[in-house]
A and B are shown apart, each in its own frame.
Chain A
Amino acid sequence: MSNVILDQISEAVQKGKARDTKELVQKAIAEKIGAKDILDKGLLAAMAIVGKKFKNNEVFVPEVLISARALNMGTAELKPYLAAQGVKPLGKAIICTVKGDLHDIGKNLVRMMLEGVGLEVQDLGVDVAPEKIVEAVKTSDAKVLCLSALLTTTMGAQKDTIDALAAAGVRDKIKIMVGGAPVTEEYAKQIGADAYTSDAASAATAAKLFF
């Protein structure tokens, strides 16, 4: 019985049906299914499938966006129950687009995928200066920092940010992931980042390993 509802939730999220997702989550709660199960086996299971398809280019940006919206509707509904049942989020990540760059579609997809594996994400927005990132890292309990750059001319700001974190003595407090179309594995290594992935779904998989 319970499996059916969880499958239905997963289906609704995959198809991006936000209202159905919300109603099904309510129904599952009413049927006394554990909040963690609803989250893991319904909502997040769906995002894992969507993420895999996105990675293979089987689905594209719009599909991920509508699935993410459904996911958010579902988690919003579930939140009080998760808290009441003492389910803690997996952990926290910080994300932003680096200084000089205002592209944010890729960054937003990474955020959604991170949320899709159960992480709480603090989004600092776009064109974020190293000092601001240092401040956020100092004051947050996040374990992962994701830096996005879409311009060849702003990739350097990823390095500047890492250097600023080192200078402020907080580099070792956090794992740093870098990405964006012009960024490569090699460049990531060169500037001392901890991880690089070429797409948002793999980014979430990689981030999870740090928790």
Chain B
Amino acid sequence: MPIKPLCNRKTFCAKTKYNPDACLSCVNAVLSSSASAKAEVLMTGFNLKFDFAPTVKGANVCAVDVGTTTVTGVIFDAQGAQIAKTGFLNPQKKYGLDVIARIDACNNGGMPEVRGCLMREIDKFIAGRNVRHVLLSGNTTMEHIAAGVSPYSIGVAPYKPQFTEMQTLKFSDCLLSGEGTVTLSPNVSGFIGGDIVAGIVACGLEKTDKNILFLDMGTNGEIVLSKKGKLYGCSTAAGPAFEGGNIACGSHAHDKAICNAKIEGGRIVVDRPDGVSIAGGAVIDYTAALLDLNVIDETGAIDDCRDDIDIFEQNGEPAIRVNEKVYLSQRDLREIQLAKSAVKAGIMTLLAAAEMSASEVDEVLIAGGFGMALNPKSAERICIFPPEFKGKTRAVGNTSLTGAIMCVLNAGILKHSQEVADAVEYVELTNNEIFQNFYLNSITFE
């Protein structure tokens, strides 16, 4: 009995009325298990079938994706039926938006609280639900914090974590009440975490006979390239611009934000003309449109004054008016340039490491909420990807949770995830001349 996905909005919150809670849980984890003990998982971009062989028998299991920004979780009963799910903002947000800020908060004696506020929420979710196994999939920093291990070393060169292997802990080790086991998804390095390993498993990157590029374009910008199953990974540190961070009028996608833009009849139109802010996806759309209208040139400079575009001065710099409240400044465009060239250069460096050309890539999978907010055409126009990726991109949703679900529902897959983590060849971008060259050459819009 496959159940229909709960939400499959391609344009992610833009057209439909935005409901943050719905969006957070927009992960469509739906499982049906039949007498033949097959699990079927329907998620954005996936319809997975595998043997139902959960990690514990006779009790419930839980899969949680601990993102830096959002946390999502699902609980299954002993028969494999989904009995609960949750999606909430990571309460650690008050300690800063990116992992480095969280590490900094932990360094300054804040560890108990940074850890506690997160684990308490997870505990609330599983409380009274007879859960005996929690699989937690997060980036390396999140997993350190969950385990109560200081993430200090991840924040300073050479950015080495305290552990990369899969961790098996007791509930009490992770501040959870009751009896049970917590497994932390295995990490590859300080900035390629268990969330990415789970994503690899979900997408089957380790066993494909194709060349697939997998991207998680959050603030860390992890990229994995599968060359017919041989895995290469890096982390590009794009920064928060794609999520609306560091943008003067930017925000995440919410119900009063401009969420997309396009050219219609020679003019730029946005989905919410009275929006109070502009979301990351729309910033990319808008930048692409401005390039098409020659309002900005290929170096990123605001160039031309068209009659229908209002360019005004803001803090000594030109800015482009989007509506009464929202504008895009020259500095915002520079932020986008820094972020997009980091992603592009990361991709090119991985391709170089695998001795491949961009045209040999068969598929490009974009994970996370941003994948759904991103209009591939706009991404192409601002050159986030090499032009050879045209028509090959696909949003795959929350692959960290998908992978985590697979792991709790099939103990063999969980075991296999460690092999996957070990198989990833980590490509260091720091002090990497190839990256540096690509980076500086990718900053423009050419």
Contacts and interface: CB of A to CB of B under 8 A. Distances in A.
Interface of A: 56-63, 65, 99-102, 105, 126-127, 151-154
A153 B96 CA distance: 12
B56 interface: no
Interface string B15-53: 000000000000000000000000000000000000000
A62 to B, nearest CB: 5
Interface of B: 96, 100-101, 103-104, 107, 152, 155-157, 299-301, 316-317, 329-331, 334, 337, 430-431, 439-441, 443-444
A62 B298 CA distance: 12
9 contacts: A59-B301, A60-B300, A60-B334, A65-B440, A105-B439, A153-B155, A153-B156, A154-B156, A154-B157
Q: 9 closest pairs, A vs B, by CB? A: A153-B155, A100-B156, A57-B330, A102-B430, A152-B104, A100-B157, A152-B100, A127-B157, A57-B331
Given A60-B334, A62-B299, A153 B104 contact: yes
Contacts, number: 61
B330 A151 contact: no
Contact of B299 (A63, A102, A105, A126): A63
Contacts of B316: 56
A62 B345 CA distance: 15
Contacts of A60: 299-301, 334, 337, 443
A152 B99 CA distance: 10
Contacts of A102: 157, 430-431
B155 A151 contact: yes
A191 to B, nearest CB: 15
Contacts of A61: 440, 443
A32 to B, nearest CB: 37
B253 to A, nearest CB: 25
Nearest to B101: A152
A85 B330 CA distance: 43
A59 B330 contact: no
B444 A62 contact: yes
Given A62-B299, A152-B100, A153-B104, A57 B317 contact: yes
A44 to B, nearest CB: 23
A152 B108 CA distance: 12
Contacts of B430: 102
Contacts of B100: 151-153
A60 B329 CA distance: 14
Given A102-B157, A154-B156, A59 B299 contact: yes
Contacts of A56: 316-317, 330
Nearest to A97: B157
B334 A57 contact: yes
A125 to B, nearest CB: 10
B157 A58 contact: no
Contacts of B330: 56-58
Nearest to B154: A153
Contacts of A151: 100, 155-156
A50 to B, nearest CB: 13
B299 A153 contact: no
B204 to A, nearest CB: 34
Which of A59, A61, A63, A154 is the most central at the interface, judged by chain B CB atoms within 10 Å of its CB?
A61
Contacts of B439: 105
Given A57-B329, A62-B299, A99-B156, 9 more contacts: A57-B330, A58-B301, A60-B300, A63-B299, A100-B155, A102-B157, A153-B103, A153-B152, A154-B155
Contacts of A62: 299, 440-441, 443-444
Contact of A153 (B107, B337, B431): B107
A15 to B, nearest CB: 12
Contacts of A152: 96, 100-101, 103-104, 155
Contacts of B331: 57
Which of B152, B155, B317, B337 is the most central at the interface, judged by chain A CB atoms within 10 Å of its CB?
B155
B349 to A, nearest CB: 15
A57 B331 CA distance: 6
Contacts of A65: 440
A205 to B, nearest CB: 15
A176 to B, nearest CB: 21
B445 to A, nearest CB: 11
Contacts of A100: 155-157
A99 B159 CA distance: 12
Nearest to B332: A57
A101 B100 CA distance: 12
A65 B341 CA distance: 16
Nearest to A102: B430
Given A57-B317, A61-B443, A62-B443, A101 B157 contact: yes
Contacts of A99: 156-157
A56 B96 CA distance: 28
A102 B430 CA distance: 7
Contacts of A101: 156-157
A62 B437 CA distance: 11
Contacts of B101: 152
A49 to B, nearest CB: 15
